[in-house]
Structure formats: structure tokens, C-alpha cells
Amino acid sequence: MSKNSQHGQWSSRLAFVLAATGSAVGLGNIWKFPYITGENGGGAFVLVYLTCILAIGIPIMMAEVMLGRRGRQSPVNTMRDLAKEAGSSPLWSWLGWVGVVAGFLILSYYSVIAGWAMAYVVRVASGVFEGATADGVSNIFGQFIADPEKLLAWHSLFIIVTMLVVARGVKGLERTVKFLMPALLVILVLLVGYSMDQGAFQQGVSFLFEPDFSKIDSDGVLTAMGHAFFTLSLGMGAIMVYGAYLPSNVSIGSTVIIISIADTAVALLAGLVIFPIVFANGLEPGSGPGLIFQTLPIAFGHMAYGSLFGTLFFVLLVFAAWSSSISLIEPAVAWLVENKSMSRMRACIWAGLVTWLVGIGTVLSFNIGADIKFFDKTFFDILDYLTANIMLPLGGLCIALFAGWVMKKEVSANELSLKHAWVYAVWRLLIRFVSPIAVIIVFLNVVGLI
Ligand code: PHE
């Protein structure tokens, strides 16, 4: 079975690497990784997260790209066809559906936070933070998120910008990420230079890399594992649909390693930028989703060329979010085009509208709806927990089971075409046993069964 995708193909291996890295590197690395690391005590959390990337993330990413390339369609249709090819149940297409739903839910809040970053580009550039105190910065953030109309306006703008790119199809995605990714790395490295010079660098490094296991509980371990999926864009079909546009002669193994290294490097670099600034200014690492918005502007307000560095930083964050958000909605758009014979444009309008509507819930959860809680969680907290900690790991578990147990060995060996037989053997061991068992253990541990 050698098919072509009706949605087009990446023009080269580099284009795929950039697009997949663009998907992986996003708010997850720069906004979420620091604040959940801060909330979960630092080093031990980082160690669990890195272990999950290696033992679970990398093998599952290989599996996801492989399934995508073999099926060459939206995840829903890919899973249906691959299940048929393997003589298994068409129910596997549900995996694609869960992914589509997860993509909608994630994008709905992702876009709200990306909206914050857009708003901060303007704020930092205007110089309001120059000379500001910690209280001043925190007031500005407080006032900002207390204003539903502002949040809604930025959320709307972000959805529109995302949909415009997706509407242009693979070529649109490709052209956008080609200049985004390299720019992003350059700006980040500049900022690390600043933190080394002006921040409490040593303290930041110890916080990130000296594990203290008394600081992490089973829910922290689940968060670390969920984040490994989230940050690599795994478990919901984003990487699968990008795999569907991958030329057949590209080696999946080495490509996935490059993407994972790039993604991990950006997260660690972001940590190295943020924590030294946090500690140098006596700030609180565990202050939650507002961490980078409440802490960094203080530093930007006090350093030479702070408004310039700050503006660059938030521009970077918006770019990173943008190239991730397009992959969150691509599985749904590809399905609408395939099954509802919609044009990409129409599909984008519908998908954008639904995500926009759900996003209003997140907008309100930071202000008027902040007190509406279930199980002590706001609407935003629930979406985040449900998607990152439950849906993505479950999706990933099913992908591992499908690739390791359902798909025929010759098919996966052939599709992966790894250079050395032992590498394939290691992958197969990881995907059949290590990754699924690890995910199951973490789940059981959280619900208190082990
Ligand atoms: N990986 C992206 C990030 O770290 C988020 C994402 C998750 C994108 C799932 C696509 C799919 O920000």
C-alpha cells in the first residue's frame, strides 16, 4: 500500500522537521513547562519528565508518524484503514475521534493563553513595565485577566490568524514555519545570555536539575508524563496528520530524534531563562499559569533594553504558539475536507467557530467565572487536566498498543525502515511493553490502585 495524501506533501525532510518541531515547540515549552515545573518543585519533576520523553515520547512519536504516513489521511480515516489492513476492528477509528476532540479542547484554551502573549507584545513594547515593581506588574496582569472583553478580543484574533494559515493547506503551514523556527531559537539563546549575566543563574540551574523526590507526588508524576505527550504534540493525531504528508523516503527514526531534542532543548532553555530571573527578583516559582506574565516583565522592566528583549520574548511566544495551534486543528480540518467534501476554507471557518466558542469558557474562568469550580478546578483547569493528563496519555497508549500489537511486524518494520535491526528491536520492545506499561502504572498510581 503506497498512497499519496490528497492534502499534499511536505516539500522535503527539512520542511517536515520544521513543521513538526513547530508543532511540538509552543506554549507547552515556554509557558507551561516553567509553571508546572515551578508548581511541582523543580528537579524531580524535570527528571520524570525527561524520562517520559525518552521511554514513552520518542517511541510513541515514531509510531504516530509511521501510522500517519502509512494511512496518508486524517487520523480518523487513517486508523480505520490501518485497522482494516491489519484485520482488526474498525472501532480503532475512535482513536482518531478522541484526538479530534482533544485538539479542539486544547486549542480552545491554547488560543486564550496565546492571546495573553499577543497582548503582552503590545504592553511590553509600550514601555509600561519600565521600572515597574513586582506589585505593579502583578496588578497589570490582574487587571488584564479580569477583563473578559480584552481576553476575548485577543482570543478571537489568535483564532483568526491560526485559521488563515490552516486554510492555505500544507504549503501555508510549511512557508510559515520555515522562518518561525530558526528565529525562535536565536531569540531564546539571546535571552539565556541575559539570564546568565543578570539572573541568579546558579540557583535557577539547581532548581531545574537537582532532584528532590520529596517534592513530587503521584499527581505530579502524572502531570510530568502528560506534559511529555503535550509538549511533543502526541496522542491526538497532530503528529499523525503531519506524518501523512511526509514523503515515503524520509527516515522516521532520525527525524523523530531531531524533533524531540529540539523540543526538549527549547523547554530547558526556557527554564534557564525564566528561573534565574524568578530567583534574582525574589519571585515565587509556583505561582501558576500567570508565572511568565507576572515575573518576566519585572526583569524586563529593570534591565537595559528591557522593553526590546521583552518584546522579542513575547513575539517568540506568539510565533511558537501559532505554529503549534495549526497542528491542533489540522486533524479536524483534514477530516472535514475528506468526509464532508468541504473546501479547506469552509472547514477552517467551522472548526474556528467551534474552538472560539469553547474558548469563551476559558476566558471567563479567569474572571467572572473564576469561582465556578468542579472538584476545586476552574473550567480552564478542567480542560487542561482532561486533555494533557488524561486524553493525550490514553491516546498515546492506544497508539502504542496499535503499533506494537495490532499492526503486523513486517508492516511496521518496513514502514520505519530503521538502518539497524537492533534499533527496531529496541523500538518494538519500548512500544509493546515499556511505554504502555509505564502509562498504565502512572494512571493506576494516581487513582490509588498501586
Ligand atoms: N506541543 C504543543 C506545545 O508544547 C502543544 C500541542 C499539543 C500541539 C498537542 C499539538 C498537539 O505547546
Cell 515514531 belongs to which residue? 62
pLDDT tens readout for residues 372-415: 999 999 999 999 999 999 999 999 999 999 999 999 999 999 99
Q: Is the pLDDT of residue 2 over 60?
A: no
pLDDT tens readout for residues 106-122: 999 999 999 999 999 99
pLDDT tens readout for residues 281-303: 888 899 999 999 987 898 788 87
Residues 20, 232 contacting (CB under 8 angstroms): no
Distance of alpha carbon 118 from alpha carbon 222, whole angstroms: 30
Q: Which of 32, 52, 231 to mutate to test the pocket of ligand 1 (most atoms within 8 A of CB)?
A: 231
Give residue 170's pLDDT.
Answer: 66
What 8-state DSSP symbol labels residue 413? H
Q: What is the CATH number of domain 13-446?
A: 1.10.4160
User: Residue 366 — pLDDT band, cuts 50, 70, 90?
Assistant: very high
Cell 495573553 belongs to which residue? 116
Mean pLDDT within 196-215: 94
Q: Which of 223, 324, 392, 399 to mutate to test the pocket of ligand 1 (most atoms within 8 A of CB)?
A: 324
Distance of alpha carbon 333 from alpha carbon 326, whole angstroms: 10
Nearest ligand 1 atom to alpha carbon 230: 7
- As beta bridge partners, residue 377 has 374
Q: Is the pLDDT of residue 144 over 80?
A: yes
Give residue 203's pLDDT.
Answer: 97
Give residue 69's pLDDT.
Answer: 96
Distance in Å from the first CA to the final CA of the chain: 43
Residue 34: how many CA atoms within 13 Å on its side-chain side?
29
Mean pLDDT within 347-362: 96
pLDDT tens readout for residues 225-257: 999 999 999 999 999 999 999 999 899 999 999
Q: Is 236 in the pocket of ligand 1 (CB under 6 A)?
A: yes
Mean pLDDT within 341-357: 94
Mean pLDDT over the full length of the chain: 93
Q: According to DSSP H, which parts of 210-343 are helical?
A: 218-231, 238-244, 252-280, 291-302, 306-339
SS3 assignment, position 377: strand
Give residue 260's pLDDT.
Answer: 98
User: Residue 168 — pLDDT band, cuts 50, 70, 90?
Assistant: confident
Nearest protein CA to atom 8 of ligand 1, as residue: 233
Residues 255, 16 contacting (CB under 8 angstroms): yes
What 8-state DSSP symbol labels residue 290? G
Q: Is 138 in the pocket of ligand 1 (CB under 6 A)?
A: no
Q: Is the pLDDT of residue 1 over 60?
A: no
> Ligand 1 mean position to 25 CA, how many Å?
7
Give residue 187's pLDDT.
Answer: 78
Distance of alpha carbon 280 from alpha carbon 409, whole angstroms: 54
Q: Is the pLDDT of residue 94 over 60?
A: yes
3-state per-residue secondary structure call for 145-206: HCCHHHHHHHHHHHHHHHHHHHHCHHHHHHHHHHHHHHHHHHHHHHHHHHHHHHCCHHHHHH
Q: With 0-12 CB in 10 A as exposed, 13-18 as middle and 19+ as buried, what is 187? A: middle
Q: Is 106 in the pocket of ligand 1 (CB under 6 A)?
A: yes
Q: Tell me the angle at which helices 93-126 and 306-339 cross, rounded to the nearest 10 degrees.
A: 150
Residues 113, 289 contacting (CB under 8 angstroms): yes
Contacts of 160 by beta carbon, 8 Å cutoff, 6+ apart = 352
Domain ranges for the chain:
13-446
From residue 332, how far is each of 104, 238, 355 by CA, in Å?
A: 8, 10, 11
Cell 502573549 belongs to which residue? 117
Least confident of 29-38, 47-56, 135-144: 135-144
